[in-house]
Structure 1
């Protein structure tokens, strides 16, 4: 009877596709196009996992946290079942929502309205440093520092090196064997400020975190450090990547720039389109809590499933001309900020930072143009896609 049941199950085929070996973003998307021909495929790479690349299957999985767990083995590969979990990102109910509510307090509508003038000032201060040169690197000079300064302003961090945050957060996806060490180093950059707020609290958000209770107790030093990682990876690297994508695609299209500056709704649509087309996180992983079917194929219990957001975002069954930048396309949900209960809590801040940065940059440097038709990405750990450089020229001011 058991043999008959096993033979009736449709087993996913094997593939040699290894995301950690992709040499470029173009290679990624070529691989995704091939993988989408089958709803789920198994790979032995990176400890073993199942590719899920179609929009429909990814959407179903992100909505089903009971079957597809973020907490059992975390969301990164290779899986490390014994590592401490990243708050919210690698948790499920009820711990997930308790942590996410704390994150979301920093990005409430009221908080973002108060933050916007500071973001305008940050953008202007960065542009002041290169405006007289007539040229710049929009990633290194603008898209990299702006989100760090923005998130530090949002949460009240004042005494930490922006360059140090950039350097350490950039290491997060490069060395899987050092992942926990980098997490503690990154969170530790603001630990002294947190402990100072615990001893002498003020009315800012950092004081709230320093004295917050989860599960009936205050966070210890290690937990505080891990909690802050969410701001300096999801709140920094993601916005750098999506802002870089927005600038790259829009500055190649002068016909769109006037509309983006005059129409807030169209600028918002362009931001969503840039995020869909080049999401900062290509995939996160889940662990199956029970045997399940994906697209009619059987995946066993305790298997690692790779939810490939970047592939789902270009599924031709959902998006017409999916490889093109088209802010006028009909609005449809995408996975550029994740999905389901793990939708990025910092998405409202990222959207505000991108809109503010674009408007300030184009109002200051109205004739800015790209020096290249290509933008190189650093593809780290099979997950993170961060633009490396984007050179531009303009009339010096």
Structure 2
């Protein structure tokens, strides 16, 4: 990626379709394959934006926070310069680093090690609900509630409705006009506990957040609400989607599942391959702060740019047979958790939740099998891809 616009030699074609108009992931990936023939595309849809689709270009843009800003207009479409900014995700510079450091305290290695037994309890509790039935929907019964409960356990929140968090967080990116309302709703779910921690501090992470100062300023209630949204949007939906996809891809191969139960390296690789093949977030957006050249094509200053992680993760120049699930492939790292300074702070928790959920399920229900041969994804907003259902059956078992 170069910044000398005088060297630009590649014309930027118009791509007339909005990502909101894709009928599903299959159509989306078919368009990605066509779009990768050129490094950059432009469309007037959703206020106008450019798309970058090739792996090297998407990675380079993600690493170049000075030229591609998350803060100027946010990361969602349509771009809205006046909407409230999500902490860390839609910040740059000192504000971004201060917020991200506070998020990462919740996911420190020692905290995650201490959390693992509780995650196993959560997984077993969810399995207990459906174990006696002999069948379940792994999305609805397992993959959706587990990350909410896991995040709450990680940050010390108690008594929050799983269904409420799921509903409200699911609305976050779908209707930009409701963004402030959704932030207030999600923040309100935990504001009482945060204020209680201010009045009666404990030795826990929630007390740390409730009393935190970022760059010398104590967070007010609006700041706290915004900060907590990061846990309940990125920390819930992404893990739920990845866990559902992992179970679908691996449970079709009993031999692979058996190996993953005892091989930490293979299980970790399978999780990363799932994120590569089916990243929960297909794209995030940036705003150019200068004229930027991408593989010979110039994107003007103050342009909205779509970094297509989903397209980059299936770039055939980088990944052999990119549409195939292969946990033993030897390739560069995927971009499904982002890249550079905006790489997902909660990825270590997500990996631990998915690892624990996979092994607990297969240990409790060793003969579980899928009863569907295709996984359908919700993809209504052109960004977030969420499996709808994953039906399975097994020999009924007793609660632990």
* TM-score class, shorter: over 0.9
Cα deviations across residues 200-254 of structure 1 (Å, max 9, x unaligned)? Answer: 1101101100000012111111110010011001100000010011001001111
Give how far 1:177 is off.
2.1
- Partner of residue 143, structure 1: 143
Is residue 8–residue 293 contact of structure 2 (8 Å, CA) maintained in 1? no
1:327-366 equivalences under 5 Å are 327-366=327-366
With over 3 angstroms needed to count, the CA separation of the structure-2 counterparts of 1:120 and 1:16, relative to structure 1, is same
Give how far 1:11 is off.
3.8
With over 3 angstroms needed to count, the CA separation of the structure-2 counterparts of 1:8 and 1:323, relative to structure 1, is closer
1:126 aligns with 2:126: yes
1:268 aligns with 2:268: yes
- Partner of residue 387, structure 2: 387
3-state secondary structure, aligned to 1:269: helix
C-alpha separation between the residues in 1 aligned to 2:212 and 2:225? 13
Is residue 15–residue 41 contact of structure 2 (8 Å, CA) maintained in 1? yes
1:95-244 equivalences under 5 Å are 95-244=95-244
Q: What residue ranges of structure 2 are gaps of 5+ in the alignment?
A: none
Give how far 1:374 is off.
0.9
How many residues align? The count is 393
Give how far 1:8 is off.
6.8
Give how far 1:21 is off.
0.6
Tell me whether 10-19 or 39-48 shows the greater mean CA deviation: 10-19
Cα deviations across residues 162-214 of structure 1 (Å, max 9, x unaligned)? Answer: 11111111112222221222122112211111111111110110110000001
- After superposition, the CA RMSD in angstroms is 1.3
1:263-302 equivalences under 5 Å are 263-302=263-302
C-alpha separation between the residues in 2 aligned to 1:302 and 1:11? 19
Give how far 1:123 is off.
0.3
Is residue 20–residue 380 contact of structure 1 (8 Å, CA) maintained in 2? yes
- Partner of residue 35, structure 2: 35
With over 3 angstroms needed to count, the CA separation of the structure-2 counterparts of 1:6 and 1:391, relative to structure 1, is same
C-alpha separation between the residues in 1 aligned to 2:373 and 2:245? 13
C-alpha separation between the residues in 1 aligned to 2:305 and 2:93? 20
C-alpha separation between the residues in 2 aligned to 1:298 and 1:291? 7
3-state secondary structure, aligned to 1:197: helix
Q: What residue ranges of structure 1 are gaps of 5+ in the alignment?
A: none
Tell me whether 147-156 or 27-36 shows the greater mean CA deviation: 27-36
3-state secondary structure, aligned to 1:271: helix
Is residue 76–residue 173 contact of structure 2 (8 Å, CA) maintained in 1? no
C-alpha separation between the residues in 2 aligned to 1:201 and 1:393? 46
